Amino acid sequence: MTIQVGDHLPQVTFRVSGPEGPQAKTTDDVFKGRRVVLVGVPGAFTPACHRNHLPGFVAKREEIMARGVDAIAVTSVNDIFVLNAWQQQSGAEGIEFLADGNAEFAKAIGLEMDGSGFGLGPRSQRYAMLVDDGVVRILNVEDTPSKAEVSGAEALLKVL
């Protein structure tokens, strides 16, 4: 079942980059006591993600944060090494990257998609949500994975 506004995020473990290399971070570690914009993308470096979706959040980061948001996080069904390279190449300092390498989070929130027709395997759908202390307050899911319109930074700013 797909997560809805008002639902609590399920407990999963992401991988993040730490000073000693990859480390585990739970849903509570990321969202408890914080207002976080979470951006879900099908894959790092994929055309719509790399050229259309992430750049808006990089460009609008300060404006989003000024609306009472504590953090912007991006999650993708990629490993943390790929996400680190994507963060660096995209100039996305100040945005947290959460690796969901086995699609556990995407499956747990009901927003996984089958990208095997493109050789991608299980992936996350494209979305943006506002999570307040672990509870989904805004959820914008794209109908088409190649678009970043309702889940883009501009669309989110209109409802924050």
Q: Which residues are catalytic?
A: 49
- Give kind and range of the element (H or E) at residue 21: strand 21-26
Distance from C-alpha of 100 to C-alpha of 9, rounded to nearest angstrom: 14
**Dihedral angle at the C-alpha atoms of 114, 76, 16, 109, nearest 10 degrees?**
-70
DSSP letters for 89-157: HHT-TT-EEEE-TTSHHHHHTT-EEE-GGGT--EEEPPEEEEEETTEEEEEEE-SSTT--STTSHHHHH
